[in-house]
Chains A and B, each alone.
Chain A
Amino acid sequence: MRIRPIATIGGLMLAVASGTAAAAVPSFIARVDRTQVGVGESFTLEVTLSVEGGRVDGYRPPDLRGMRALSERPSQSTQMQMGGGGTFVRQVYGWHYEVLAPDRGTFNIGPARVRVDGQEVRTEKIAISVVDTGQSPPSRRPGRGFPQGIPNPGLPFPGFGVQDDAPPTADTQQPGRGRRNFLRVQSNKLKAYVGDEIAVDWFLYLTERQDKYGTTAEPRTDGFWVEDRTPANPHAGLSLTEQAYEGRNYLVAPLMKKALFPLHPGRLTVSPLESEISRVDFFGATLRTERLKTEPLTIEVLPLPTAGQPPKFDTSAVGHFTLRAEVDRDRVNVGEAVTLKLTVSGQGNLRKLATPVLPRLDGWKAYEPKVSVTLDPGERVTGTKVVEYLLLPERAGVTTIPPFTLAFFDPDRGTYGSEKSNPLRIEVSAEGAQPTGAHPISATTGTITSASSPATAGGENVLALDIRPLHNRPTLRRDLGTSFYRSRSLLGVVVFPPLVLALTAFVGFVRQRLSKETEGTRWRKLRRLARRRLRTADVCLREGRLAQAFGEIERVLREFLTGKLGTQIAGLSWDELGSTLARAGLAPALVAATLASLEDCDRARFAPGSVSVEEVRAARDRASEIILQIEKAPLRPVSAPGVRS
């Protein structure tokens, strides 16, 4: 079958390419990426013309003879070279074909022809051997270029590698007929053991460049321990390469790469990756958006075989591992630290892998270990896990750390294996014979007890550069004293007690003041009492109890006089009372009126039938008048006869 002439683009290109200077010897080469292919597989044929000036026309593609061209694409570029006394400009024309070999046998690709300044040049014939599928050599990995190692000056997009693509081990994408954009997920296995590594890649296949790409839904990986293996992309945007897939050319971008470790048996599914691609115009407005989605990826996870499985087997220990144990020194003094280092190297889920546990060592104090994992870049998850224990001997003697054992399952062989380290012997001497460069550490406190500065010590102790481990307590221990010192509560504690004490003293003072009787309070009290007695007398008067009314009037007079004189007058005769009132400075008329009023009351009490209502009312009014006058009269304090003042 002959290649259809590329009339439009090729003709235009050749018409543009013309020169007046004498052409140098042109280079016209045809080459393939491999000379042996499987039936139904495709290979790449490149025809390149490199010429310094000159008119180029009349290109005739090579005769494929029994093979079929799946795609064809011309290109043109200009190379400038300075030096040797001038500048040389070289035009490079390229024709790129994707060729399918449908039948078994040997095929010759005929020469391509072109005219340079009227002179025809042609390429060499190329023989292609088409064999049954499976016998053909493995296809190239992305980015490796042509097997011949010839530079490819005629590539259509500088920086791109032209590649074909190996059939995926497990490919869920069905792009279907026709060339279109799609997402593809590729897994290196669809059936795996629990804990086994599964490499999964997601790719974007484009028929043409797009302006925007965005992931709208990340794949969910429930049931897997995931290590992200996506290589760092130093450039913004997608990293596109040109690849052939199912006989068609695509611009392919790797989107992400993950290593999945199944955590339990069963059918586990990785949900689809969903993305959007779009084209925008010069002003940034979206012209067209297309939503893409992979198929879900289902992995059948097998349980680890029970036959031969070690007890308490860690299901993360699936892969290939080696184990090494070492101490930084095997002769120390009491109180000097030793670092025990366990190193697990190999392929598998190193981050989750449970490392062997240090048994309790009698006479030693072991600090919390420091764990670090370093993973290597590459297709598979390989690397190293290091566990460092800081050990402090507390007494002299010889200690042998027993060997550490790491059991693992080899998924390739389907069997269990184990790695065992050597036993480690450490000799601990009593304090005193300190080796050079060692840092003495207190056996009781575990601290450096002397200023063995590295600058002054004879040797360099690696341990000296390290520090004590983190305090990993379950809860945060707070220093209440310092918090209290920094808070305002301290001011409250300082202010509150004296404040309360002062308040208590003030309240006591007020109460004392209130309880003390003064002249004024005594008078107020007397007045209140007098008013109350007189009101009682009025009540008795209204109710017709005249004797009682007189009794109240007498009581009010006597109580008032007692209060006014400051001495008891009960039991005094009329004369004694009269003399007492006179001595107190009461006017004689008032004394007489007082005595008369008291006598009236006395009489009325003992002869109640002889008094009338009017008499009682008059006696009450007199008593009120007498009280008013006595209140206004300035009296001297006196003592009643027979009463000591």
Chain B
Amino acid sequence: MAHADLLDEAWKRGNDAYFRGDLVGAIAAYEQLDRQNVASRDLYYNLGVAHFRQGSLGRAVWSFERALEVDPDDEDARFNLAQARKLAERRVLDKIESAEREALWIRVVTVFTASTETWIFVGLYLGCFSLLFLRRRAADDSRAALTAGAAILGTGALLAGILLLGRMNLDRIPFAVVLPDVVAVKEGADTTYRTSFEVHAGLRVRLLDRDQDWVRVRLANGLEGWLRAEDVGRL
């Protein structure tokens, strides 16, 4: 069976399980696809819906965030993310005071989606080199025009490449979402450390460091602490 058929089979199995009311089975099928690095807003969306129905709000928020990363225009994912966050806030509200806006470079590199940036870069880059190839075989009188065209496309590819590199850099400094309903943030990477504060399902945090099974997180207001790696879902 072709790879695409196997993916579709797992996708259908997940949907069927969901409609049978077997949320555990549905989540298992969707997570199987996720482990195969399938980037699909529908996959993340359905995973979020299944987690929401199961009451795992943190994981639901995480999944909807991932769906929006793939396609920020997905209205269903945006709606469900808002609903999941509202429900999580009803349970308990993480009041983040003096939360700072994200850095300028982050806002710049995330203007477009990863998919859009990739296609823009690849198009300009290949176009630039195509013109350079043509230039080698072209007559003398058309070489200047081809050179100018290649320069323009090359400049565009350079800018798109910078955006893409910025996004890759952002991916290396990842964000994550808190998964359990409530979890204590420790002062160090061990349960014996004192609890600094508590965070709740769906809260977006930045991952700063990792020490074996623990990760150091920073909240939007600059508060930092340590959580178990299994308690956060990386975006």
Q: Which residues of A contact B (CB under 8 A)?
A: 371-373, 445-448, 451, 453-455, 464-486, 490, 493-494, 497-498, 500-501, 504-505, 508
Contacts and interface: CB of A to CB of B under 8 A. Distances in A.
B37 A493 contact: no
B79 A493 contact: no
A531 to B, nearest CB: 40
A483 B52 CA distance: 26
Given A465-B87, A472-B15, A501 B38 contact: no
A476 B43 contact: yes
B205 interface: no
Contact of B86 (A464, A469, A508): A464
B14 to A, nearest CB: 9
25 contacts: A371-B19, A373-B21, A454-B86, A455-B86, A465-B83, A465-B87, A466-B83, A467-B52, A470-B19, A470-B49, A473-B42, A476-B38, A477-B40, A478-B39, A481-B119, A484-B118, A485-B117, A486-B114, A490-B118, A494-B125, A497-B125, A497-B126, A497-B129, A501-B129, A508-B136
Contact of B75 (A447, A482, A490): A447
B45 A485 contact: no
B148 interface: no
Contacts of B132: 501
How many interface residues does chain B have, given as a range?
A: 35 or more
Contacts of B45: 471
Contact of B11 (A371, A372, A475, A505): A475
Interface of B: 7-8, 10-12, 15, 18-19, 21, 33, 37-43, 45-46, 49-50, 52, 70-71, 75-76, 78-80, 82-84, 86-87, 89-90, 93, 113-119, 122, 125-126, 128-129, 132-133, 136, 164, 167
A476 B132 CA distance: 39
Contact of B42 (A372, A471, A480, A498): A471
Q: What are the 3 A-B residue pairs with the smallest beta carbon separation, nearest first?
A: A481-B115, A497-B129, A482-B39
B11 A476 contact: yes
Contacts of A505: 136
A481 B45 CA distance: 18
B20 to A, nearest CB: 10
B83 A464 contact: yes
Specify which of B46, B76, B126 lies most central, judged by the most chain A CB atoms within 10 Å of its CB.
B76
Contacts of A372: 21
Contacts of A484: 115, 118, 122
B8 A476 contact: yes
B125 A483 contact: no
B86 A453 contact: yes
B148 to A, nearest CB: 17
B37 A468 contact: no
Contacts of A474: 8, 12
Nearest to A497: B129
A464 B84 CA distance: 10
B39 A486 contact: yes
Contact of B122 (A447, A469, A486, A493): A493
Contact of B115 (A475, A476, A477, A479): A479
Given A484-B122, A493-B126, 14 more contacts: A445-B75, A453-B86, A454-B90, A455-B86, A467-B84, A470-B50, A475-B11, A476-B33, A482-B39, A484-B115, A485-B115, A497-B125, A500-B133, A501-B132
Nearest to A446: B75
A468 B80 contact: yes
A504 B76 CA distance: 50
Given A448-B79, A476-B11, A470 B136 contact: no
B107 to A, nearest CB: 19
A226 to B, nearest CB: 15
B43 A483 contact: no
A470 B15 contact: yes
Contacts of A481: 113-116, 118-119
Contacts of B11: 475-476
A455 B80 contact: no
Nearest to B33: A476
A368 to B, nearest CB: 9
B47 to A, nearest CB: 10
B90 A482 contact: no
Nearest to A371: B19
Contact of B76 (A465, A471, A480, A501): A471
A494 to B, nearest CB: 7
A449 to B, nearest CB: 10
A491 to B, nearest CB: 11
Contacts of B89: 453, 455
B70 A479 contact: yes
Contacts of A448: 79, 82
B61 to A, nearest CB: 11
Given A468-B79, A471-B76, A497-B125, A455 B90 contact: yes
Contacts of B93: 455
